[in-house]
C-alpha cells in the first residue's frame, strides 16, 4: 500500500458570528499550514446539529464559515474546502467507529460533561457520540496531522485509540486485503506555541464570545474598518502606562489581552510589543492597535461581505470541494467495508 500523504484535516462548526478569537485561534493557523501540507478544511454541519439548529440559520452559517475561510486566505483550488454533510462517508465511518469505541471511553470525555451539564438525560445521543464522528472526520481521509487546541486534545487521543483498536481488531483482515498491518494512521497533533487566548474587549477575565450580549465585547470577522476601530477605542483599559516586561501584565487582564491581540496579529511576541510601547501612554498603544487591526482585519470583513453576496459561488466552492473529498473518502469506505467483512457491489 502506498505511503499516506502528509495530510491535515480540520473542521469548524457553523454556529454563527465568527470573531477575532476564531481567527487567531484557528483560521489564521489553517492559512499558514497550506504551504506545508495537503489540507482538508471542513465546515462540520453534522456536528452543529447535535444541538438543535434553525435550518435557515444553519445554511447561512455554513456559507459564512466558508466565506471566512476564503477571505482569510485559504485557497479552495489548492486544497479542499467543503461541508461535512455532502460526503456520506462521514456518517458511514462514524457508525463503524461507534461499534469499535467503548462506552467507557465516551463517558470520560470532559467536553460532553461540560456541554451536557446537569441535564445529561435530555441531551441528544449525537452529542454523546460526537467524538466518534470527529474520529471518522479525521480518519476518513487518513489524515496524518490535526491542528488542535487544549480543548480538543482529548478527542484526538480518542481518535488514536479508535484507530489503534480497529487496526488490532481487524489486523489479519487488513493484511489479507492487501494493506500493511496498520490501516489507519496514528494521527499526530499539530500543537502551536502558547495559544492566543482572546478575551472580551469589555472584560479581560472573560473569553471573547459570540453569545455575549454586548457586540462591543468582540470583533466580528464581518465588521468593517470603522466598526473595528470604534470597538478597539472603546475597549476597556486601565489608567496606568504599559509595562516594559510581561510580568507587569499579570494583574492587568485588559492590558494583557490587547497586547496579546497586537502580538498575534503582528506575528510577534508580547515582550516584543512591550519593548516598543512599554512605558508609554496606553492611548498611544491603542492607536497603533487600531491601525494594525484595521489593516489586518478590514480586508477580511470586506471580502466576507462580498462573498456572502454571491451565495451560488460559495455553494459551488463547497460542491466542488465535496466532489474532491468524496474521491478520497469513497476509497477509504470501500477498503473499510472489505476489511470489516461487508458485502458490497
Find out whether 150 is annotated in a ligand binding site: yes
Note if 59 is an active site residue: no
Residue with cell 463517558: 107
pLDDT tens by residue, 224-257: 999 999 999 999 998 889 999 999 999 999 999 9
Check the annotation: does 149 bind a ligand: yes
From 165, 210, 236, 270, the catalytic residue: 210
| Catalytic-role residue among 59, 165, 206, 207 | 207
pLDDT of residue 2: 43
Active site residue 115: yes
Residue 172 annotated as binding site: no
Cβ atoms of 96 and 184 within 8 Å: the answer is: no
Q: What is the pLDDT of residue 116?
A: 67
Q: Quick check: pTM over 0.85? A: yes
pLDDT digits (tens, 9 = 90+) for 178-216: 998 899 999 999 876 655 689 999 999 999 998 889 999
193 is in an annotated binding site: no
Catalytic-labelled residue, pool 115, 206, 296, 337: 115
Residue 165 falls in the annotated catalytic set: no
- Tens digit of pLDDT for each residue in 16-59? 889 999 999 889 999 999 999 999 999 999 999 998 999 999 99
Q: What radius of gyration, in Å, describes the C-alpha atoms of the chain? A: 22
Phi, psi of 47 (to 5 degrees): -70, -40
Q: Tell me: the pLDDT tens digits for 160-175? A: 999 999 999 999 999 9
123 assigned ligand-binding residue: no
| Cell numbers representing residue 97 in the block | 467507529
Closest residue by Cα to residue 320 from 81, 150, 100, 160: 81
- The confidence score (pLDDT) of residue 155 equals 79
Q: What per-residue confidence (pLDDT) applies to 120?
A: 72
Q: What is the DSSP string of 212-276?
A: -S-GGGS-BTT--HHHHHHHHHHS---SSPPPSSGGGGTT-HHHHHHHHHHHHHTTS-HHHHHHH
Question: In this model, does residue 104 exceed pLDDT 90?
Answer: no
pLDDT beyond 80 at 115: no
DSSP code per residue over 307-345: HHT-HHHHHHHHHHHHHHHHHHHHHHHHHHHHHHT----
Helix axes 282-308, 253-265, angle to 10 degrees: 50
Amino acid at each position: 500500500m502506498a505511503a499516506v500523504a502528509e495530510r491535515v484535516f480540520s473542521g469548524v462548526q457553523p454556529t454563527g458570528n465568527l470573531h477575532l478569537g476564531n481567527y487567531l485561534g484557528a483560521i489564521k493557523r489553517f492559512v499558514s499550514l497550506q504551504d506545508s501540507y495537503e489540507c482538508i478544511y471542513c465546515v462540520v454541519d453534522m456536528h452543529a446539529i447535535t444541538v438543535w439548529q434553525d435550518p435557515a440559520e444553519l445554511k447561512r452559517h455554513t456559507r459564512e464559515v466558508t466565506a471566512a475561510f476564503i477571505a482569510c486566505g485559504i485557497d479552495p483550488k489548492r486544497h479542499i474546502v467543503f461541508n461535512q454533510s455532502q460526503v456520506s462517508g462521514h456518517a458511514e465511518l462514524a457508525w463503524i467507529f461507534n461499534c469499535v469505541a467503548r462506552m467507557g471511553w465516551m463517558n470520560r470525555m470532559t467536553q460532553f460533561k461540560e456541554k451536557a451539564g446537569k441535564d445529561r438525560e435530555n441531551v441528544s445521543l449525537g452529542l454523546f457520540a460526537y467524538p466518534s464522528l470527529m474520529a471518522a472526520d479525521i480518519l476518513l481521509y487518513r489524515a496524518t496531522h490535526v491542528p488542535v487546541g487544549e480543548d480538543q486534545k482529548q478527542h484526538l487521543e480518542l481518535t488514536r485509540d479508535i484507530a489503534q483498536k480497529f487496526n488490532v481488531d481487524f489486523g489479519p483482515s487488513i493484511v489479507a486485503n492487501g494493506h500493511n498491518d496498520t490501516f489507519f494512521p496514528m494521527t499526530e497533533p499539530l500543537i502551536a506555541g502558547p495559544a492566543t487566548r482572546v478575551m472580551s474587549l469589555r472584560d479581560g477575565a472573560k473569553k471573547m464570545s459570540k453569545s455575549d450580549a454586548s457586540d462591543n465585547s468582540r470583533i466580528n470577522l464581518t465588521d468593517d474598518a470603522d466598526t473595528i476601530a470604534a470597538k478597539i477605542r472603546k475597549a476597556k483599559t486601565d489608567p496606568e502606562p504599559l509595562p516594559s516586561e510581561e510580568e507587569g501584565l499579570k494583574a492587568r487582564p485588559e492590558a494583557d489581552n490587547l497586547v496579546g491581540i497586537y502580538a498575534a496579529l503582528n506575528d510577534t511576541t508580547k515582550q516584543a510589543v512591550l519593548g516598543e510601547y512599554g512605558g508609554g501612554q496606553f492611548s498611544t498603544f491603542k492607536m497603533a492597535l487600531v491601525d494594525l487591526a484595521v489593516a489586518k482585519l478590514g480586508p477580511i470583513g470586506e471580502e466576507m461581505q462580498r462573498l456572502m453576496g454571491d451565495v451560488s459561488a460559495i455553494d459551488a466552492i463547497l460542491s466542488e470541494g465535496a466532489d474532491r473529498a468524496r474521491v478520497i473518502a469513497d476509497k477509504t469506505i470501500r477498503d473499510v467495508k472489505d476489511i470489516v467483512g461487508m458485502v458490497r457491489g
